[in-house]
Amino acid sequence: MMRLFKGLMIPGCVLGLWQWLVMIQYVKSESLSYPSAIAAAAIGVIQDGTLLVAAAQTFSGAFSGWLVGATLGIVVGIAFGLSQTLSRLMKITVETVRPIPSVALIPLALLIYGYGVLLETSVVAFSCFWPLLIVTESAVRGIEPRLIEVSRMLNFNLFDRVIKIILPAALPRIFVGMRLAAAVALVVSVTVEITANPMGLGYALIVAQESMRADRMFAFIGWIGLIGWSLNTALLNIQYRWFGKMGFWEEQV
């Protein structure tokens, strides 16, 4: 409780000062709203249902893209981690495709999928694929060689080896990659909505901007921040719950 109070003290003062400066009419601006109006707008977007719809759209785009991109990244990452040859063969391809900013793919994805969830999913998937590929490949490379020997002594086939030894052994590190990719997914999906896709929180921001509603813009920005924060907190909790118990397994992270 005390920590929460301390943490909120400075931002609270800033908001108070902001509100006060507007009230004494020291600041007058079309683009700068003020805290009480923003708070009212933040509640307003809940009441008229805009927030829920927009958040659901953004979330579905971000989540599906994250799921697709991360899964593909893990699968390819395991293959690269297991086969040095494959990894070396693909190295130049990976190094040239990876630096392409995901946002640069929006026009192409728009051409292929048109407006809608698929547009967002594909661009988000592209951006989530790379971190998972890299993290998974290095996690698989870093697996305790003794565990690989144990699986060899038990004559496991490739599938069993991956499912029973490699994937669980690499999972703590893969999960960290998934957590980082989730933050990227939110950023990219909102970007896609601002630049192209007429849906979700990003589009709601544009609508607020075009109708000169600075208070609603700030409200949506606030909500996006809150969603990002709760997503990360939730994933951190899952990480501790799943991997915290098993002692030194966690140390590999």
Q: Which residues bind other proteins (CB under 8 A)?
A: 144, 146-147, 149-156, 160, 164-165, 168-169, 171, 245-249
Closer by beta carbon to other proteins, 113 or else 249: 249
Closer by beta carbon to other proteins, 48 or else 149: 149
Q: Could you give the CA distance from residue 120 to residue 60 in angstroms, rounded to a whole number?
A: 9
Give the amino acid at 152.
Answer: R
Closest approach of Cβ 207 to other proteins, in Å? 48
Closer by beta carbon to other proteins, 48 or else 160: 160
Closest approach of Cβ 179 to other proteins, in Å? 18
The token pair at 88 is 């070396």
Query: What sign does the CA torsion over 224, 133, 65, 126 have?
Result: positive
Closer by beta carbon to other proteins, 11 or else 247: 247
Closest approach of Cβ 158 to other proteins, in Å? 14
Closer by beta carbon to other proteins, 80 or else 243: 243
Closest approach of Cβ 132 to other proteins, in Å? 20
Q: Could you give the CA distance from residue 125 to residue 68 in angstroms, rounded to a whole number?
A: 6
The token pair at 64 is 């599906």
Closer by beta carbon to other proteins, 98 or else 152: 152
Closest approach of Cβ 240 to other proteins, in Å? 15
155 torsion bin: left (phi>0), alpha (psi -120 to 50), beta (else): left
Closest approach of Cβ 15 to other proteins, in Å? 46
Closest approach of Cβ 144 to other proteins, in Å? 5
User: Could you tell me if 132 and 70 are in contact, meaning their C-beta atoms sit under 8 angstroms apart?
Assistant: yes
The token pair at 116 is 């809608």
Q: Cα-flanking dihedrals φ and ψ of residue 205, to 5°?
A: -65, -45
Helix residue ranges, H only, 83-210: 84-97, 106-113, 117-141, 145-153, 158-160, 167-195, 200-210
Q: Could you give the CA distance from residue 215 to residue 200 in angstroms, rounded to a whole number?
A: 18
Which residue is listed with tokens 């499912």? 163
Closer by beta carbon to other proteins, 8 or else 246: 246
